[in-house]
């Protein structure tokens, strides 16, 4: 193991950057006609080949674009371009859908002068309809200045479906006098549930890191961030998180065997956690972000399982929406989480209000508890007496609007 001193590094700090902030990256978006009005075609370009890694939905019916992207990354573990359309998922579309995904890759590769396997393609939207390839072809042909335009805000808009706002995060690190950057954008509002990757995430960095280290870091960070959110329990057929590292910061290459690997993971986790929380807050029809903390579990996995079960409970979600401190629903979720507890639940808190102590109801002021539930962010804390492991999960409340939005999604 290398033991290069980290004394010249500082902590990662949040910044107002975007996916074009890391050196060598450009991006943009436009309206081509997949949707009626809003932007629906976006792209990312790196001026040099970038090491690439991705995590994909666990849904058995993976859409054709995912298969094409997996092939592109598998060939060389590098990418240089990404093309995304929204409004149509190109999912459950058979051989024709696969051919269209390959055609999207071919068109964009030709447009920007790359080999086809250097391009990833992504689609999101309505399932079961063929892509309007003429509209996409005209859209690709109308793209200009791919290698110079830095219009990350247009890309952020182009990937949205039922989202109510764009989502981005960026961090910087002063490393041996050089500024290193990791930045990301995401979309996600419905069909979001743990077990990756039930949304779209795109992360760019100028750090020089090996492909194997990048892949390992993304998988490990995903387990603590994107896999710890849920909106409605549905896992999409399409979505994924993709990270590209082009090395233009010119640092010595970092590998999974270096001390700097943990440093990279810290920055990547800050970006992914921020994006995950934004997705949870933007759950379809949501009015509140729910954050569940589980402390004192026997294992990390058990802590995660309990946290995800609570935040995924429809009854907990509706209680939060109704601003009702119904702690019984929280305890019930712990009970059916599948985690065997040796001891009584040490404590349950809703906001700062203790509602359960040593396995028994704890007297509390209903008005004070209800007042804390009026906040936009609701923190539920579970204290166990099983060990020292902990975990966090994020979700949202379940409102009337969730039903309205999804009842009319195709119309």
Strand, coil or helix: what is 168?
Answer: strand
Query: Per residue in 182-196, is it b (16+ CB within 10 Å) or e — as a string?
Result: bbbbbbbbbbbbbeb
Instruction: Identify which of 95, 124, 120, 85 has the alpha carbon closest to the alpha carbon of residue 105.
Output: 120
Q: Is 198 among the residues known to form the active site?
A: yes
Q: In degrees rounded to 5, what are phi and psi of residue 408?
A: -120, 25
Q: CA–CA separation, 370 vs 384, rounded Å?
A: 24
The helix, strand and coil proportions of the chain, stated in percent and rounded to the nearest 5, come to: 35, 30, 40
The residue written with tokens 């990791």 in the block is 182
Instruction: Identify which of 184, 187, 190, 224 has the alpha carbon closest to the alpha carbon of residue 389.
Output: 224
Which helix (H) or strand (E) segment holds residue 172: the answer is strand 167-175
Which helix (H) or strand (E) segment holds residue 393: the answer is strand 389-396
Catalytic residue among 78, 93, 124, 198: 198
Q: Catalytic positions, please? A: 198
């Amino acid at each position: 193991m290398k033991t290069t001193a980290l004394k010249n590094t500082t902590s990662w700090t949040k910044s107002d950057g975007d996916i074009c902030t890391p050196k060598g990256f450009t991006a943009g978006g436009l309206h081509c006609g997949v949707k009626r009005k809003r932007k629906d075609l976006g792209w990312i370009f790196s001026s040099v080949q970038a090491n690439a890694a991705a995590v994909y939905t666990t849904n058995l019916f993976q859409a054709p674009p995912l298969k094409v992207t997996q092939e592109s990354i598998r060939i060389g573990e590098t990418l240089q371009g990404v093309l995304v359309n929204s409004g149509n998922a190109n999912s459950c579309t058979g051989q024709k859908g696969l051919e269209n995904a390959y055609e999207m890759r071919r068109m964009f590769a030709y447009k920007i002068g790359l080999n086809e396997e250097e391009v990833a393609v992504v689609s999101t939207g309505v399932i079961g309809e063929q892509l309007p390839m003429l509209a996409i072809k005209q859209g690709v042909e109308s793209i200009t200045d791919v290698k110079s335009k830095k219009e990350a805000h247009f890309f952020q808009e182009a990937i949205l479906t039922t989202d109510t706002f764009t989502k981005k995060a960026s961090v910087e690190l002063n490393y041996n006098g050089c500024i290193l950057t990791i930045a990301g954008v995401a979309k996600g509002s419905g069909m979001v549930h743990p077990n990756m990757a039930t949304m779209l995430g795109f992360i760019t960095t100028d750090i020089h890191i090996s492909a194997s280290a990048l892949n390992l870091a993304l998988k490990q960070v995903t387990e603590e961030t994107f896999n710890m959110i849920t909106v409605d329990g549905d896992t999409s057929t399409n979505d994924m998180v993709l990270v590209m590292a082009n090395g233009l910061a010119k640092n010595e290459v970092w590998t999974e065997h270096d001390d700097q690997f943990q440093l990279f993971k810290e920055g990547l986790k800050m970006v992914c956690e921020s994006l995950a929380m934004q997705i949870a807050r933007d759950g379809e029809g949501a009015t509140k972000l729910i954050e569940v903390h589980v402390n004192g579990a026997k294992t990390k996995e058990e802590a995660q399982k309990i946290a995800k079960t609570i935040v995924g409970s429809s009854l907990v979600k509706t209680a939060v929406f109704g601003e009702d401190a119904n702690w019984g629903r929280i305890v019930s979720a712990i009970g059916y989480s599948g985690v065997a507890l040796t001891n009584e639940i040490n404590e349950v808190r809703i906001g700062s209000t203790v509602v359960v102590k040593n396995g028994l109801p704890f007297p509390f002021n209903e008005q004070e508890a209800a007042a804390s539930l009026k906040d936009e962010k609701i923190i539920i804390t579970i204290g166990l007496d099983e060990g020292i492991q902990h975990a966090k999960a994020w979700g949202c409340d379940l409102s009337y609007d969730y039903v309205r939005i999804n009842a009319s999604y195709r119309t």
